[in-house]
A = this chain, B = another copy of it.
Amino acid sequence: MSRRPLIVVSNRGPISFARAEGGERIARRGAGGLATALRGLLAREEVTWIASAISDEDRALVAETGGLVPEDAGAPCRLRLLAHDPEAYDGFYNVIANPLLWFVQHSLYGLGAQPVLDERFQRAWAGYVAVNNGFAVEVVAALDNAPQAAVFFHDYHLYLAPRVVRDARPDALLAHFVHIPWPQSDGWSVLPVDQRRAVHDGLLANDLVGVHTQRWRRNLVASAADVLGAGRDHDGRVVHRGRTTTITSRPISVDAGEFDALASSAAVLDAEELVVRGRRERLVLRVDRADPSKNIVRGFTAFGLLLDRHPEWHGRVVMLALLDPSREGVPEYDAYRDAIECEAAAVNARHASAGYQPVDLRIVDDFPLSVAGYKQYDVLLVNAVFDGLNLVAKEGPLVNDRAGVLVLSENAGAHEELGEWALTVNPFDVLGQAEALHAALSMDAGERERRADALANQVRTHDVGHWIDSLLDDLAGVSA
């Protein structure tokens, strides 16, 4: 496997272009952790990456070059950008991928009222089809240049492309990683039957599908049976339309070396001074995108209940919430941000006193501050409603200096790997979360150290290099 070239396909590429003030084109590392996660791969393998042109400058570059990013432009690998039809891309991204598929896969819809699938949905779905077709055409062209290459699709933006590639190249080696939860078939019933079948049929056009947990793996095997009538072979692979797909559970991880370096960087040390100055005896931390799946409002409610029920913590503990702004302008997200601010204010109104503000809410994109928070927390709260994995639960324990306790949702994918050393909470049970915070704050030092050491050791010995190696082994197994 190791010498088979790779074609990586994802909506967002490893870099995106912008214009600097001086007018020259500059490359920026894209948001999202995929490029970071794949960095080790890019160093070792021959990779062509196909991604959407997202910024205006990306589109300008495509107009100039036809899509191939020049070698000196700062990409970490050979990179081809696709400029999709803007209307199709809008439906693909802003209606189907987010919020629809995101909400379906994180079980966020209140089905009595949402979603309402109308003509806008039908037009947007046509855009999702068109953008996936555009990716597939580009993948087929790349395969023509490198017939032995393996294709590695990423995530919920690209469920349909594998089937189109498969129909054109029946013998191609296709793999796909889904980074978000896979719901059970009743959850998928939110999509009309044609669309839910297309999603499953597209994904099962791959030879290999990776997810973060055994739970999502079981859900996928079962929903493939319920939605498509797919069977199983004697090795547990899914059988559909005469082909087999191996479903593998491979939890993604972080680059331990990178975090070690970050933890002692000047930017983080500066931020840490601020955190140390602002902290009380104990610090409860959360670090998240401002997304309803992250369960931020209930986290504040639980912290308020902690102070109600255990007044001995009053004045002694602060909850620092570092929230990356997310999908601003999308109504569901704007409303959620209002709810976040409202609940934080309510807890502060109830429990603040002279010189003491229990909730410190910061909606900012400040990664050094997050890492500083990781080093300083006594309790890290990860109470996600549903989460494919949740990297915060790995990043925090890796660099924490205080034998901090991880309070972890049973519905975060990371729970399967880390749950035995965390305090488990149900994301809807704010009373249980309040009591888990109290238990974490009250835990004796020996127990805290035992758990914190085990967490850090698990992450360090199962870092992102391990994830890549496992997937390459899976791919080699499938191609053999």
Contacts and interface: CB of A to CB of B under 8 A. Distances in A.
A119 B429 CA distance: 9
A253 interface: no
Interface string A93-130: 00000000000001111111111111101100000000
A428 B432 CA distance: 34
Contact of A189 (B111, B112, B122, B426): B426
Contact of A118 (B117, B219, B295, B430): B430
Contacts of A118: 301, 305, 430-431
Interface residues of A, number: 48
A26 interface: no
Interface stretch (A169-177, A180-188, A458-466): A180-188
A102 B221 CA distance: 28
Nearest to A385: B111
Contact of A117 (B108, B110, B430): B430
B113 A339 contact: yes
Interface string A424-454: 0011111110000000000000000000000
A249 interface: no
Interface in A156-213: 183-187, 189-193
A410 B432 CA distance: 36
A400 interface: no
B305 A431 contact: no
Interface in A411-429: 411, 426-429
A292 B112 contact: yes
- Which of A112, A119, A301 has the most B CB atoms < 10 Å from its CB? A112
Interface in A131-158: none
Nearest to A117: B429
Interface centre among A109, A115, A301 (most CB of B within 10 A): A109
A297 interface: yes
Interface of A: 106-119, 121-122, 183-187, 189-193, 219, 222, 292-293, 295, 297-298, 301, 305, 336, 339, 385-386, 410-411, 426-432
24 contacts: A107-B111, A108-B111, A109-B110, A110-B110, A111-B427, A111-B428, A112-B385, A113-B292, A115-B428, A116-B301, A116-B428, A116-B430, A117-B429, A118-B431, A119-B305, A121-B429, A184-B185, A184-B187, A186-B187, A189-B411, A191-B428, A192-B426, A192-B432, A193-B426
